Amino acid sequence: MSGTIWLPIRILLLILQSVWLALGQIWSNKIRSALTTIGIIIGVASVTAVIAALSGLKASVLTEFESIGTTTIFAGPDLPREGKFRNLPWHKIQFEKKDLENLLENCPSLEVYTPATWRSTSVRYGEQTVENMLIRGINNSWHKIENRSVIDGRPFSIIDEEQGWQVCLITEEVKKELKLDKDCVGQEIQIDGRSFRIVGVVEERISAFDMGRSKAEVYIPYETEWKLWRNHPVILAKAKKPEVAEEAREELRFYLRKCKGLKPGDPDLFRIETVEQVLRQFEKVSIIITTIATGVVGISLLVGGVGIMNIMLVSVSERTREIGLRKAVGAKPSAILLQFLVEAVILCFFGGLLGVLGGQGMTSALARIPNAHLDKAYIPMWAIGLAFGFSALVGIIFGMFPAAKAASLDPIEALRHE
Amino acid sequence: MLIELKDVRKIYKVGVERIQALDGVSLEVRENEYLAVMGSSGSGKSTLMNILGCLDRCTSGQYLLGGHDTTRLGSSRLAQIRNEQIGFVFQSFELLPRTSALKNVELPLLYSRKQGWWNRRKLANASLERVGLAGRIRHRPNQLSGGEKQRVAIARALVGGPSLLLADEPTGNLDTKTSEDILALFDRLHEEGQTIIMVTHEEDIARHAHRVIRMRDGKIISDEKQTGRKPA
Ligand SMILES: Nc1ncnc2c1ncn2[C@@H]1O[C@H](COP(=O)(O)OP(=O)(O)O)[C@@H](O)[C@H]1O
Ligand SMILES: [Mg+2]
């Protein structure tokens, strides 16, 4: 005799041996094993696909916001949902032009701001008319805030802004829709029947929120918008640094409350949003979706686990004589337990593996859907780890009862089993 | 002394009924004895063998194997004793189906604390050779005759080098000619030093043993040495 083998090595050998036995057992019941794991496969495939889609969407949104910058702040009039101000007429809460004049002095954390408006109206060039063209009233600083520069012609000058000249900037898409000349700077278009001279072309930015199409937009100086149409502004601003974005927001809030003459305890009559906030909201939504998906998957894994348990119980009962014999020749209860547990875990593991492969397939399919912004969809490593971890856990939990049943069989009874 | 049974009783409870399968059995067996246990059906032979083989525990009394008391041992320790010290041969062979003779013989080694996998094949081969089945190692049970199956089972019982070989009606499912072959094998194993305890209810078969005990209603009613042994 070669003496007793060191315990950890013996355990390792026992596990390897159990894996080997389990593989043989699964192989000899191929169809049954495959059917059993379908629940797990579907569960794992769907969760990995959902996680992949969310990760992809998040990646797209993040790139989107990174280009806008996390320093952008938006403020617009907004009615509180309850309280005495709930039914204030709109003209009481909208921002006045004069409110904006001292904005930068009062908000030291802001770098620049612009009053902004948007509305759609008809635009004509020669014979060509486009209804519902988006007209945005802005100041020159808008280029800095949205990080979109003028690629042809010039931006608005101080004179344009102060005098409210009838000048406009357009996007490439406007050229197409109005059938403008290639070199259209200097030409005139009709906005609401008034003549505007094109002074420049603004670079395009395709946003994930526009379903991948570029937008036809016409920009006019805010002052012009005010002079001609008396449209009240909202505020677009940019904080000096991302770190002071929150401070800037507070300064702006304080200032706007002062402008509105609000007393302490009154609710805000406006809403201030930062990109940070929107990101956080997106984060929240994606956590909710992930949680729901996890719940759904939990249920399907549960169903899958019950399937595994069922098949393991069948297996134990079919192999009662074999278990009896193994015990008779010296298998300890723990060895039998391990053998069946390993078999259940391996079944689940196969389910997990096929599930991850299926999820990868679904992810590739999702990524190919045009304009769905899922082209960045990928299964993160942690999700793969999670899928396998959960599969193994399901195997252990649902395999434990059948395995314990096998381990506790009495060898003589088992050998007498028909 | 290899085996010492002291006033061993075994009571089965079936519903409210109590069946006294062993009723105060005391027995001593030395190393290298060849013992036959005889008795009519239901006399408690299998119960006795199961207790001797550590497959079952007695209700009261004491069982010393190799001088060690086994009565209070847990199921893991008993499994280890079965693995290292006992070889059991069953009437119905109990081979794993769809599994080669070699793999069947390797089975006890799978659970051995002492043997690594590197020794398994070698030991199993040697054991199969010992029972005269060197040419059948790749055969599966359904490709073997009854006598060959029982030889595989004997090879499996011997592979761990047990101090005690137990056989409960090993020839019960075999014809006379094949039975003689198996008994010849037992004779040879005994000559090589193996301790054997064998259950049978045929006098012809019991004649191979050196000592015969007879049972009735869970008691040993006679225990005698045999001199006029049938030659192997
Ligand atoms: N598991 C059991 N449950 C109840 N009674 C049993 C059990 N095993 C054996 N017996 C009873 O014990 C007695 C002895 O049985 P056994 O040892 O198998 O006899 P033998 O092998 O001599 O034919 C019989 O009456 C049998 O019915
Ligand atoms: Mg019997």
pLDDT tens-digit profile of A341-371?
Answer: 999 999 999 999 999 999 999 999 988 887 7
Among A165-179, A226-240, A270-284, B154-168, the minimum mean pLDDT is found in: A270-284
CA B215 to centroid of ligand 1, rounded, Å: 13
Q: What is the 3-state secondary structure (H, E, C) of A293-359?
A: HHHHHHHHHHHHHHHHHHHHHHHHHHCHHHHHHHHHCCCCHHHHHHHHHHHHHHHHHHHHHHHHHHH
Cβ atoms of residues B5 and B61 within 8 Å = yes
**Residue A317 within any structural domain of the chain:** yes
Shortest-distance atom of ligand 1 to CA B22: 14
Give the residue from A273, A308, A329 where a domain finishes: A273
B116 with A13: Cβ contact below 8 A: yes
Substitution target in B111, B112, B122 with the highest count of A β-carbons within 10 Å is B111
- Measured from the Cβ of residue B111, the count of other Cβ atoms closer than 10 Å reads 23
Cβ atoms of residues B22 and B10 within 8 Å = yes
B13 reaches A (C-beta below 8 A)? no
State the burial class of residue A6 (Cβ atoms within 10 Å of its Cβ: 0-12, 13-18, 19+): exposed
Q: Are residues A55 and A154 in the same domain?
A: no
Q: Is B14 in the pocket of ligand 1 (CB under 6 A)?
A: yes
Both tokens of A364, joined, read 């590739």
**Residue A10 within any structural domain of the chain:** no
Confidence of residue B228 (pLDDT cuts 50, 70, 90): low
Q: Is B165 in the pocket of ligand 1 (CB under 6 A)?
A: no
Partner residue facing A328 (CB), from B75, B82, B114: B82
Judged by DSSP in three states, B171 sits in coil
Q: Residue A137 carries which DSSP code? A: E
**Among residues of chain A, what percentage have pLDDT more than 90?**
42
- The residue that leads in pLDDT, A203 or A1, is A203
Q: Are residues A255 and A320 in the same domain?
A: no
Taking residues A255-263, report their average pLDDT: 89
A335 reaches B (C-beta below 8 A)? yes
Q: Are residues A88 and A225 in the same domain?
A: yes
Measured between beta carbons, the chain A residues lying within 8 angstroms of B99 are none
What is the predicted pLDDT for the residue at A100?
85
CA distance A415 to B75: 16
CA distance A245 to A279: 14
Nearest CA to CA, how far is B156 from chain A (Å)? 9
A139-162 pLDDT per residue, tens: 999 998 888 889 999 999 999 999
Both tokens of A371, joined, read 């304009």
Mean pLDDT taken over chain A: 87
- Sheet (strand B60-65) strand order: B17-29, B3-14, B60-65, B68-69
**Residue A77 within any structural domain of the chain:** yes
**Residue A2 within any structural domain of the chain:** no
Nearest alpha carbon to residue A216 among A157, A148, A136: A136
Q: Is B43 in the pocket of ligand 1 (CB under 6 A)?
A: yes
What is the predicted pLDDT for the residue at B91?
94
What is the predicted pLDDT for the residue at A67?
62
Partner residue facing A325 (CB), from B56, B76, B96: B96
CA B226, B231, B232 angle in degrees (round to 5)? 115
- The residue that leads in pLDDT, A76 or A6, is A76
Cβ atoms of residues B182 and B171 within 8 Å = yes
Count structural domains, chain A: 2
Give the residue from A273, A307, A342 where a domain finishes: A273
Q: Are residues A346 and A201 in the same domain?
A: no
Residue B231 has pLDDT above 60, yes or no: no
Residue of B nearest to A408 (CA): B75
Nearest alpha carbon to residue B87 among B186, B158, B147: B158
CA distance A115 to A98: 11
Q: Are residues A150 and A256 in the same domain?
A: yes
Q: Are residues A347 and A304 in the same domain?
A: yes
Cβ atoms of residues B12 and B206 within 8 Å = no
Measured between beta carbons, the chain B residues lying within 8 angstroms of A330 are 79-80, 82-84, 108, 111-112, 160
At A131, which helix (H) or strand (E)? strand A128-138
Contacts of A330 (CB under 8 A, 6+ apart): B79, B80, B82, B83, B84, B108, B111, B112, B160
**Residue A48 within any structural domain of the chain:** yes
- Measured from the Cβ of residue A31, the count of other Cβ atoms closer than 10 Å reads 7
CA distance A138 to A158: 12
In this structure, what are the phi and psi dihedrals at residue A165, rounded to the nearest 5 degrees?
Answer: -65, 155
B108 with A335: Cβ contact below 8 A: no
Cβ atoms of residues A161 and A140 within 8 Å = yes
What is the predicted pLDDT for the residue at A93?
87
CA distance A218 to A196: 10
Cβ atoms of residues B159 and B109 within 8 Å = yes
Q: Are residues A144 and A284 in the same domain?
A: no
Taking residues A201-206, report their average pLDDT: 82
Q: Counting ligands in written order, which one lies closest to the CA of residue B45?
A: 1
- How is A159-196 classified by DSSP, letter by letter? HHHHHT-SEEEEEHHHHHHHT--SS-TT-EEEETTEEE
Taking residues A44-51, report their average pLDDT: 87
Q: Is B42 in the pocket of ligand 1 (CB under 6 A)?
A: yes
Measured between beta carbons, the chain A residues lying within 8 angstroms of B88 are 328-329
What is the predicted pLDDT for the residue at A286?
81
Q: Are residues A197 and A234 in the same domain?
A: yes
Confidence of residue B232 (pLDDT cuts 50, 70, 90): very low
Partner residue facing A1 (CB), from B82, B111, B114: B114
What is the predicted pLDDT for the residue at B215?
96
Taking residues A223-235, report their average pLDDT: 93
What is the predicted pLDDT for the residue at A101?
84
Q: Are residues A49 and A158 in the same domain?
A: no
B75 with A332: Cβ contact below 8 A: yes
Taking residues A225-238, report their average pLDDT: 92
Q: Are strands A194-202 and A167-171 parallel, antiparallel or unpaired?
A: parallel
Angle separating helix axes A30-68 and A275-318, nearest 10 degrees: 170
Among A108-117, A300-309, B59-68, B153-162, the minimum mean pLDDT is found in: A300-309
> What is the torsional sign of CA A255, A259, A264, A269?
negative
Residue of A nearest to B92 (CA): A415
Shortest-distance atom of ligand 1 to CA B168: 21
Q: Are residues A251 and A147 in the same domain?
A: yes
CA distance A388 to A349: 6
**Residue A7 within any structural domain of the chain:** no
Which residue has its alpha carbon closest to ligand 1 atom 14? B44
Nearest CA to CA, how far is B134 from chain A (Å)? 22
Domain boundaries, position A129: 72-273
Q: Residue A369 carries which DSSP code? A: S
Q: Which of A24-28, A44-48, A54-58, B185-189 has the highest mean pLDDT?
A: B185-189
- Could you say which residues from 197 to 226 on chain B have a Cβ atom under 8 Å away from some Cβ of chain A? none
A153-202 pLDDT per residue, tens: 999 999 999 999 999 999 998 998 999 988 899 999 999 999 999 999 99
Q: Are residues A322 and A410 in the same domain?
A: yes
Nearest alpha carbon to residue A387 among A36, A33, A59, A41: A41
Which residue has its alpha carbon closest to ligand 1 atom 6? B12
Q: Are strands A72-77 and A167-171 parallel, antiparallel or unpaired?
A: unpaired
Both tokens of A323, joined, read 């278990």
B56 with A10: Cβ contact below 8 A: no
CA distance B17 to B10: 14
Taking residues B70-74, report their average pLDDT: 93
Nearest alpha carbon to residue A323 among A346, A349, A343: A343
Cite the DSSP H helix spans in B13-73: 45-52
B142-176 pLDDT per residue, tens: 999 999 999 999 999 999 999 999 999 999 999 99
**Residue A373 within any structural domain of the chain:** yes
B111 with A325: Cβ contact below 8 A: no
**Among residues of chain A, what percentage have pLDDT more than 70?**
95
Nearest CA to CA, how far is A325 from chain B (Å)? 7
B99 reaches A (C-beta below 8 A)? no
What is the predicted pLDDT for the residue at A210?
47
How far lies B223's CA from each of A259, B190, B226, in Å? 116, 20, 10
Give the residue from A247, A273, A299 where a domain finishes: A273
Which residue has its alpha carbon closest to ligand 1 atom 17? B44
B78-136 pLDDT per residue, tens: 999 999 999 999 999 999 998 999 999 999 999 988 877 788 999 999 999 999 999 99
Name all domains of chain B by residue range, CATH numbers in brackets. Answer: 3-225 (3.40.50.300)
What is the predicted pLDDT for the residue at A212?
47
Q: Counting ligands in written order, which one lies closest to the CA of residue B48?
A: 1
Partner residue facing A331 (CB), from B53, B79, B116: B79
Confidence of residue A55 (pLDDT cuts 50, 70, 90): confident
A329 with B80: Cβ contact below 8 A: no
A388-400 pLDDT per residue, tens: 888 899 999 999 9
Nearest CA to CA, how far is B46 from chain A (Å)? 10
- The residue that leads in pLDDT, A211 or A286, is A286
A327 reaches B (C-beta below 8 A)? yes
**Residue A9 within any structural domain of the chain:** no
CA B100 to centroid of ligand 2, rounded, Å: 28
- How is B134-150 classified by DSSP, letter by letter? GGGTT--GGGS-HHHHH
Is 0.80 surpassed by the pTM of this model?
A: no
B79 reaches A (C-beta below 8 A)? yes
- Beta partners for residue A134, in sequence order: A120, A217
Q: Are residues A260 and A294 in the same domain?
A: no
Confidence of residue B229 (pLDDT cuts 50, 70, 90): low
- Measured from the Cβ of residue A68, the count of other Cβ atoms closer than 10 Å reads 17
Q: Are strands B211-216 and B34-39 parallel, antiparallel or unpaired?
A: parallel
